[in-house]
Amino acid sequence: MGVTDEGLSSLVTKHKDLSKLDITCCRKITHVSIAHITNSCTSLTSLRMESCTLVPREAFVLIGQRCHFLEELDLTDNEIDDEGLKAISRCSKLSSLKLGICLNINDEGLTHIGMCCSRLIELDLYRSAGITDSSILAIAHGCTGLEMINIAYCKDITDSSLISLSKCSKLNSFESRGCPLITSLGLAAIAVGCKHLTKLDIKKCYNINDAGMIPLAHFSQNLRQINLSYTSVTDVGLLSLASISCLQSMTILHLNGLTPSGLAASLLACGGLTKVKLQASFKSLLPQLLFQHLEARGCVFQWREKVFQAELDPKCWKLQLEDMQ
């Protein structure tokens, strides 16, 4: 049957001291449940409600009006809009906010978050396509302690956002896959300003090339995980990453400028690798002794048969489940 308004409302009314509530994928609840939750559990510090798809946009205003102690809020795949975000900006203790696949939000609402939620450490905007540079600027200026941001498939984001975010010196996880307007210039700014970077995903940032790898190789000495798939990086850029001794995981699918000899040189030079995702076509192009040597060194290879994929409309995200992996 699943969780219903009646059952959830009864539960929260009896347990008003709740500090954490996870109602992820409760697809039958409506504004009735949110009204009861926010009225009864005003001391909530964590609310996770991903994919509560029957909750209307008006209900999210109640969260901001009544739950001022929230530190963690997951609203992934919900109907929240800018009015809801404006209300939630009153939750000044927020450190983690997830707004992935929220197709009704725009810069106006997110700017309020940047202005009022200075303690924000984690921000997920995956496929929230209404977001542009102006609200990322507000986030960068107001949330200087930011450690993680995901702007994947926010297709209007440009280098300006990355230059703004480069001032967030504590940033350690940056995901911008599927942002075609981002170039090596923006990535260089991140590399120079965010020296604690450990995870970088720039898959399908087609305009990032070797010029973006050189600053990474020089400044990002804490980098452990990188996804370069579908970028314009060549042998030269990949080999430059060998200077990052911490680098453990690389995903390098569909790099048109990558040759078998360049790949072999890079794999041998990156001595700390423990996981590499590669196109299966390379398996027959490189000597088996190379793979045996690398595997003996502790590296695991994951082979992918994927063909090149054209991008779908953001609203068709559910057809691209592989991008969530």
Distance CA 135, CA 113 (A): 9
**Domain 5-266 = CATH 3.40.50.300:** no
Give the model's confidence band at 2: pLDDT under 50 very low, under 70 low, under 90 confident, else very high: confident
Whether residue 175 is predicted with pLDDT greater than 60 in this model: the reply is yes
pLDDT in tens, 87-143: 999 999 999 999 999 999 999 999 999 999 999 999 999 999 999 999 999 999 999
Q: Is the CB of residue 87 less than 8 Å from the CB of residue 63?
A: yes
The percentage of the chain sitting over the pLDDT mark of 90, rounded to a whole number, equals 93
131 close to 125: Cβ distance less than 8 angstroms: yes
What is d(CA 45, CA 72) in angstroms, rounded to the nearest whole number? 6
Of 252, 253, 250, the closest CA to residue 270 belongs to 250
Work out the mean pLDDT of the chain and round it to a whole number. Answer: 95
Residue boundaries of the structural domains of the chain: 5-266
Which amino acid, residue 174? F
Tens-place pLDDT, residues 185-212: 999 999 999 999 999 999 999 999 999 9
Mean pLDDT of 7-26: 95
264-322 per-position pLDDT tens digit = 999 999 999 999 999 999 999 999 999 999 999 999 999 998 766 655 555 554 445 44
For residue 274, what are the contacts with CB-CB under 8 A and spacing of at least 6? 248, 249, 298, 299, 300
The arithmetic mean of pLDDT across residues 24-29, rounded, is 96
